[in-house]
Amino acid sequence: MRISSVGTAYPPHRYSQSEISQALVERWQGKLEEPRLLTRLHANCGVEFRNLVLPLEAYPGLVGFGQTNSAWITAAVELGEIAVTRALERAGITAADVSAIFFASVTGIASPTIDARLINRMPFPVNVKRTPIFGLGCVAGAAGVARAADYVRAFPKEVALLLSVEICSLTWQDDDQSIANLISTGLFADGAAAVVVAGAESKIAAPAAPSPRILATRSTFYRHTQHIMGWDIADTGFKIVLSPDVPKVVTEHFLGDVQGFLADNNLTQADISSYIFHSGGPKVLEAMENSLSLPPGALAPSWKSLREVGNLSAASVLAVLEDFLTLHPGAPGTYSILAAMGPAFCSELVLLKW
């Protein structure tokens, strides 16, 4: 089983970080005790540009969770279709060849889910198996790859599709000027990514383009850390829960997770040639680098993704994966680790071989 392709999609409204900061300062006039704090926090997020589903001036017109969630559904279907189409084209297949769809998001809700709505727009089989995933947050990109791999391991002749759409700008809270929300509005962004995972006996088991095999996966749950990250669900929608202890949790657990995972696969960190990590933010990336004693530049694609499009929650690690498949594929026979961490708190690791 292998990752055959990745396709990404970003909304059309692209802004510099300073433009977004200034727009929020103006939007929250009278609510910010120190407007320069927002600007300073945004400047420290490691983000230079972000794509948003709406023009900046349109966001104040969305009132209440109903309107913002309706906007999320519309945008998620549109971005999702673009990302899926790109991934399928790169894999050389069509929607009719997909046997299972995994859909991951944590920035909106829909029933029927986004994957169901896409089946009405694209020629997926009517008996395609659907698995919507909600609540995993940033870890869901890596977890979705792992669950898709579980599926094609059981059904090696089939092809699974993972789609993640995250529209973080629709979760901005006008009445929350906490540090967590100010950082959130400077860090998270909008985008979608789709991944085609092919079974070992499927029609695309041996594609011409570089595509790594999935050798193993591991989920790790850290008990009693639910206060670290997530959402409080309010009348106005999703209110961010984001503790400054996130890097600390990474430092305490990540090295042991990676070393144990590799040992169980008869490998050590010396065998790993590249690291495909979620672009969680500067402090998270630094904690990952330091805990694994990585050399300079080891996480360059993750830092690049953070700068250019921001933290896309679940879709971020998939955007970084696209960079590796298209620009930085591993040499034949080398190993990579794909990893993300997120609410619960937890981690997900995927071992790849090129």
pLDDT in tens, 168-182: 999 999 999 999 999
130: pLDDT strictly greater than 90: yes
What pLDDT does residue 205 have? Answer: 64
Least confident of 48-52, 117-121, 172-176, 191-195: 172-176
Reply yes or no on whether 45 is catalytic. no
Cβ neighbours around 55 below 10 Å, total: 11
Q: Tell which CATH architecture fits domain 2-198.
A: 3-Layer(aba) Sandwich (3.40)
- Please check whether the two domains, 2-198 and 213-353, share a CATH topology: yes
CA separation, residue 104 to residues 173, 218, 222, 290 (Å): 22, 18, 21, 29
pLDDT digits (tens, 9 = 90+) for 131-158: 999 999 999 999 999 999 999 999 999 9
What pLDDT does 209 receive?
Answer: 75
Residue range 289-333, pLDDT digits in tens: 999 999 999 999 999 999 999 999 999 999 999 999 999 999 999
Q: What percent of the chain has pLDDT over 90?
A: 95
Q: 354 falls in which pLDDT band (50, 70, 90)?
A: very high
CB 114 within 8 A of CB 73: yes
Question: Over 70: is that where the pLDDT of 115 sits?
Answer: yes
Estimate to the nearest angstrom the gap between the alpha carbon of 344 and the chain centroid.
Answer: 16
Question: Sign (positive/negative) of CA torsion 136, 307, 171, 113?
Answer: negative
pLDDT at residue 210, rounded to an integer: 82
Of 45, 138, 168, 346, the active-site residue reads 138
Q: What is the pLDDT of residues 205-261, one digit of tens each?
A: 666 678 999 999 999 999 999 999 999 998 889 999 999 999 999 999 999 999 999
Task: Give the pLDDT of residue 203.
Answer: 86
Of 145, 171, 83, whose CA–CA distance to 278 is shortest?
145
pLDDT at 25: 95
CATH 3.40.47.10 fits domain 213-353? yes
- Please report the pLDDT score of residue 55 as a whole number: 97
- Residue 345: pLDDT over 90: yes
According to the model, what pLDDT value does residue 208 have? Answer: 63
The region, left, alpha or beta by phi > 0 then psi within -120 to 50, assigned to residue 153 is alpha
Q: What is the pLDDT of residues 54-82, one digit of tens each?
A: 999 999 999 999 999 999 999 999 999 99
pTM recorded for the entire structure: 0.95
Q: What is the pLDDT of residue 30?
A: 85
Residues 351 and 215 sit within 8 Å (Cβ to Cβ): yes
105-131 mean pLDDT? 97
What are the residue boundaries of the structural domains of the chain, listed by start? 2-198, 213-353
Q: Could you tell me which of 139, 142, 137, 144 has the C-alpha nearest to residue 161?
A: 144
pLDDT, tens digit, 9 for 90 and up, residues 40-54: 999 999 999 999 999
Which tens digits make up the pLDDT trace of 257-280?
Answer: 999 999 999 999 999 999 999 999
